[in-house]
Copies of this chain bind each other. A is one copy, B any other.
């Protein structure tokens, strides 16, 4: 196999890397600012790819990890709330046309799941559930070593699972989604609401409050902050009980900033999951682990997707 060029479009950074087969570390790596609201995102991407393009090695494919929603089968971005210029943009076809190699596309959570399965915490597992908890909640699922994509390529959008039909509004506008209980902004929103209702706390009613500050206050014993994370963990447990019933994975991997807080979130998560799983066998030998690839998950996942496609074509 030749080189695979992986691209990771993040809200802040646009990363590209060139991977030679059998080598875990990229032979070339480039990071630039996405500048999502300034013109020329696609041109910047082309330039960033050119900068890691190998001089002698043949390139087999380009593979892109991007925020969704998108259509992995046509390689088109659909509506990208964070990069308005790329709305309904045929990204993979454009890259393929420009560089003369196949180009693949899937969303960041699916790519991170693939990356963790091939190179990270889920290595050796065949049935994987990946959840990233940060500004949003994203999901990825491997079923019998295959990425679960679905008919429209919209499978495993697990942050938008309804956990409580009467729950608070999600960023998407619908009610009671996992994301509306357990994402960073949901935790902050709960704290602000409780402060407004007169709850006692070391935190002030600050519109710029973030989930990290809530975690810090919790670590210093602030009751309201502790209860905000506890609540997020409880609903996460309910959602994951449903994901076990749906997918029956052998491992759950947690990524994303909010999942870095440790027991503050995961003690109540585990207790809630234990309480809600209707059949104990789901938990037998079930591993619950933190993502291992950090910021490289998108790049390594994109690389994996290309490897899977290239393998299938041989």
CA of A236 to CA of B127 in the docked complex: distance in angstroms? 27
Give every chain B residue within 8 A of A278 (Cβ-Cβ): 160, 170, 172-174, 177
A155 touches B247 (CB 8 A): yes
Q: Are B247 and A152 in contact (CB under 8 A)?
A: no
Within the complex, the shortest CB–CB distance from A210 to chain B, in Å, comes to: 25
Bound CA–CA A153/B250 (angstroms): 11
Complex Cα spacing A165 to B150, Å: 27
Cβ-closest chain B residue relative to A272? B165
For residues 101 through 125 of chain A, which have their beta carbon under 8 Å from a beta carbon of chain B? none
Query: Closest chain B residue to A275 by CB distance?
Result: B174
Residue of B whose beta carbon sits closest to that of A249:
B151
What is the 8 Å Cβ interface bit string for chain A, positions 243-268, against chain B (1 contact, 0 not)? 10111111000000000000000000
Considering only residues 201-243 of chain A, those with a C-beta below 8 Å from chain B are 238, 241-243
Q: Which of A127, A170, A172 has the most CB of B within 10 A?
A: A127
Chain B residue nearest to A127 in the complex (CB): B151
A127-B150 contact given A162-B242, A247-B246, A278-B174, CB 8 Å threshold: yes
Number of copies of this chain that the complex holds: 2
A149 contacts B281, C-beta separation under 8 Å: no
Task: Please give me the residue from chain B that is nearest to A246 by CB atom.
Answer: B246
A148 in contact (CB, < 8 A): yes
Q: How far is the CA of A146 from the CA of B238 in the complex (A)?
A: 27
Other A-B contacts than A126-B151, A162-B163, 11 sampled, CB-CB below 8 A, are: A69-B281, A143-B146, A148-B247, A151-B250, A151-B286, A154-B279, A156-B246, A158-B245, A164-B166, A172-B278, A174-B276
Chain A residues with a Cβ under 8 A of chain B? 69, 78, 126-127, 141, 143-144, 146, 148-158, 160-166, 170, 172-174, 177, 238, 241-243, 245-250, 276, 278-279, 281-282, 284-286
- A-B contacts, 6 of them at CB < 8 A, read A143-B148, A155-B247, A162-B241, A173-B278, A177-B278, A246-B247
Which residues of the partner chain B approach A69 to less than 8 Å between Cβ atoms? 279, 281
Chain B residues with CB under 8 Å of A281's CB are 69, 78, 152, 154
Instruction: Output the least CB separation between A40 and chain B (Å).
Output: 28
From A153, A248, A284, residue with most partner B Cβ within 10 Å: A248
CA–CA, A279 and B69, complex, Å: 9
